[in-house]
Amino acid sequence: MNARDAIQDTGIITLSTKNISIDHQNSEIYSSIKEGNYILIEVKDNGCGMDASIKNRIFEPYFTTKEIGKGTGLGLSTVFEIVKQNHGHINVDSHVNIGTAFQIFFPVYQGEVSNNPIEEIKSAPEGNKQKILLVEDEKQILEMLYQYLTKLNYEVIPIENPKEALAIINNDSKEIHLLITDIMMPELRGFYLHEAMIKSKRSIKTLFTTGYIEKIDTLYNINEDDIELIRKPINLHLFAEKIYDLLHN
Q: Is residue 116 included in any domain, yes or no? A: no
Candidates 107, 88, 112; CA nearest to 20 is 107
Whether 195 contacts 220, CB under 8 Å = no
**How many domains is the chain partitioned into structurally?**
2
Structural domain ending residue among the three candidates 40, 75, 107: 107
Q: Tens of pLDDT along the chain (249 residues)?
A: 888 888 987 899 999 999 999 887 766 777 788 889 999 999 999 999 999 999 998 888 778 777 665 555 667 888 888 898 889 999 999 999 999 999 999 999 877 766 654 444 468 899 999 999 999 988 889 999 999 999 999 999 999 999 999 998 888 756 899 999 998 887 788 888 988 888 886 678 999 998 776 656 555 555 556 689 998 888 899 999 999 999 998
Residue 97 sits in the same domain as residue 178 = no
End-to-end, the C-alpha distance of the chain in Å comes to 44
Residue 72 sits in the same domain as residue 148 = no
Q: What is the reported pLDDT for 59?
A: 87
Residue 140 sits in the same domain as residue 48 = no
Residue 138 sits in the same domain as residue 225 = yes
Residue 145 sits in the same domain as residue 217 = yes
List Cβ<8 Å contacts ≥24 apart for 118-124: 121/237, 122/237, 124/152, 124/236, 124/237, 124/240, 124/241
Please give the residue range of the domain that contains residue 153: 131-248
Q: Is residue 113 included in any domain, yes or no? A: no
Residue 7 sits in the same domain as residue 99 = yes
Mean residue pLDDT across the chain:
85
- CATH, residue 215: 3.40.50.2300
